Amino acid sequence: MQRRLPTRSEPLIIVVSGPGGVGKGTIVKALVDRDPGLWLSRSWTTRVQRAGEHDSAYVFADREAFERRIACGGFLEWTEFLGYYYGTPTPETSDGRDVVLEIEVDGAKQVKALDPSAVLIFVLPPSRAEQERRLRGRGDPDQKVAERLRKAEDEEPVGMALADYVVVNDDLEQTIEEMLAIVNACRARASRS
């Protein structure tokens, strides 16, 4: 069972989505670090933690724990992707801050269906070659790199069609500044509503 998201009088829901290797995690961390009005809802996954990946990147759970949480309606959205579960827990509190969700395209689609006012920022790589370089650089095995690149071909048209904003991450600092400007513009619009 999925729960209803907050109404417009409550914090904004900002969804950052895009294919693997576009830099979503790095971007979202910078957004939350720079804007104290943002709160990151940390996703769960059943995949193994990558070498060098920070413990706070996800809640790393086994399949049984994840499935128990699904059964009790504990996820706002969840999906199975490349053999692993990924999900966003239903936000319990954001202390009045705007909620940032870093999620896959399937999850973004679920959130937009629940709350059409959620702001979806879809992030693209500057090129497929750069995306592949980033995937390899973070330690993904060859098979997973190939699967993620194939998946990106399917995800991008869907994500771009759903998106309120599309950002190409070819310069990290510029991307962060552009996304902070988007967040501030959405806040200004929401306060006028």
From first to last of its 193 residues, what are the pLDDT tens digits of the chain?
Answer: 344 444 445 789 999 999 988 999 899 999 999 999 999 888 899 998 888 888 888 899 999 999 999 999 888 888 888 899 999 888 766 688 999 999 888 889 989 988 899 999 999 999 999 999 999 988 888 998 999 999 999 999 999 999 999 999 999 999 999 999 999 999 998 887 6
Residue 85 backbone zone (phi > 0: left; psi -120 to 50: alpha; other: beta)? beta
CA atoms of 74 and 121, how far apart (whole Å) = 24
**DSSP H helices in the chain:** 24-34, 63-71, 105-114, 128-137, 142-162, 172-192
**CATH match for 13-41+96-192 among 3.30.1370.30, 3.30.750.24, 3.40.50.300, 3.30.110.30:** 3.40.50.300
Comparing CA positions, the residue from 159, 170, 177, 100 lying closest to residue 133 is 170
Domains of the chain, by residue range, sit at 13-41+96-192
pTM (two decimals): 0.81
Q: Return d(Cα 70, Cα 65) in angstroms, integer.
A: 9
